[in-house]
Amino acid sequence: MKSSVLKPEGITVQEFLAEGFSEDSLKDLEKAYEEAWQREKLVYADGYIKLLVSIAEYYKRKRNNKHSDKLERLLEEMFGTLKRPTPQELAAEYYIKAAGVATSVSLIYFPRLDCPEEAKRYLQLAVELEKKAIELGIVPEHHAITLNNLGTHYYETNRPEKALPVLKKALEYAKTPEKKGLILHNLALTYADLGIKQEAVDCMVKSICIHYSTKHDFGDVSLYDDAIERIIKMTKDPYTDIYALKVALDLVSGNLNVEEAKEILKQIDEQKWPLAATLLTILNTKACCNASTPEECNRLIQDVASVVSIKTQTPPR
């Protein structure tokens, strides 16, 4: 590969072909830029992204040209007898790869180099590139996290009003409990910062309940204290479902007994906060009732009901 094609500002496929190279050399070109970028990430970032986007657009233009002999030969060499991706799939793949490079560079600029505006530029670019893949019918596996990264960046740089719509969109693409829990946590902080108490509490309750149901070791609930206290402090109201959640966790872990839990929950408005209402129903009737609570909290509700049932059994005579 000639050194003239390897430059920080990058090169397009058209420019590369104009220098006398063939389609067959595209993989070598991509490899050369990837190696250069790995050595000097900030120097070659824009050039590498430019090349990847150019390759994506090259394949996108080819997607309707089913009789391109050169393209067929290139795909054959790259993938052999395996199922070959379509030009459209290849275009989406390169947009996603370019988005990954942009995300990686954003993490260098902020917080490592404390350059938030540069980080924002690359985070926005990552989102836009993944949108191009979606337009081609391919949803990137980590699109929810890419959106979460941008939304969180807005929040951390004191722009919660810009963070909110991005994080809400991220939640729409979250397909795993881990991703949903993470995004709900960040949404809770954003809502709280904007003074939207109900949504802040609801999101943090759901986030913690998701984590509890997927990661929880029975009795270990202290890892949730910081998030709970943060929402209480930000909303300036201890008597919400976030405190009801703390009561449930303390009851399950043995830090509270049933009567102590009841007294605390009575201070919370049952008409406004469904988790508090459900917990009081369980403590008073010893029956599991969670119809009005988020489904994310089902595991915790069941554990509370189990603990109450065990602790209120009549000893055998």
190-217 residue pLDDT tens: 999 999 999 999 999 999 999 999 875 5
Contact 282, 305 (CB under 8 A): yes
What pLDDT is stored for residue 285 in this prediction? 85
Residue found under tokens 């929402």: 231
pTM, entire model: 0.88
Contact 63, 56 (CB under 8 A): no
What pLDDT is stored for residue 309 in this prediction? 83
* Lowest-confidence region among 1-5, 197-201, 257-261: 1-5
With a pLDDT cut of 70, the percent of the chain lying above it is 86
Predicted confidence (pLDDT) per residue in 113-170, tens digit? 999 999 999 999 999 999 999 999 999 999 999 999 999 999 999 999 999 999 999 9
Query: Highest-confidence range of 17-26, 66-75, 237-246, 287-296, by mean pLDDT?
Result: 237-246
Residue 181 predicted with pLDDT over 60: yes
What pLDDT is stored for residue 77 in this prediction? 62
Residue 69 predicted with pLDDT over 80: no
CA 262 vs. chain centroid, Å, equals 36
What pLDDT is stored for residue 272 in this prediction? 94
- How confident is the prediction for the chain on average, in pLDDT? 89
What pLDDT is stored for residue 62 in this prediction? 81
Residue 257 predicted with pLDDT over 70: yes
Residue 317 confidence class, pLDDT cut points 50, 70, 90: very low
Residue 73 predicted with pLDDT over 90: no
What pLDDT is stored for residue 79 in this prediction? 59
Residue 290 confidence class, pLDDT cut points 50, 70, 90: low
Measure the CA–CA gap between 264 and 72, rounded to whole angstroms.
70
Residue 78 confidence class, pLDDT cut points 50, 70, 90: low
What pLDDT is stored for residue 2 in this prediction? 63
More confidently predicted of 50 and 22: 50
What pLDDT is stored for residue 219 in this prediction? 43
Cα–Cα–Cα angle for 123, 129, 131, nearest 5°?
A: 105
Residue 93 predicted with pLDDT over 90: yes
Spell 160-185 as b/e; 16+ CB within 10 A means b: bebbbebbebbbebbeeeebbbbbbb
Tell me which DSSP letter residue 292 carries.
T
The burial of 107, by beta-carbon neighbours within 10 Å (0-12 exposed, 13-18 middle, 19 or more buried), is given as middle
Measure the CA–CA gap between 254 and 15, rounded to whole angstroms.
69
* Lowest-confidence region among 2-6, 42-46, 269-273, 276-280: 2-6
Measure the CA–CA gap between 317 and 315, rounded to whole angstroms.
7
Structure tokens at 145: 């996290």
Measure the CA–CA gap between 62 and 70, rounded to whole angstroms.
11
Structure tokens at 35: 């190696």
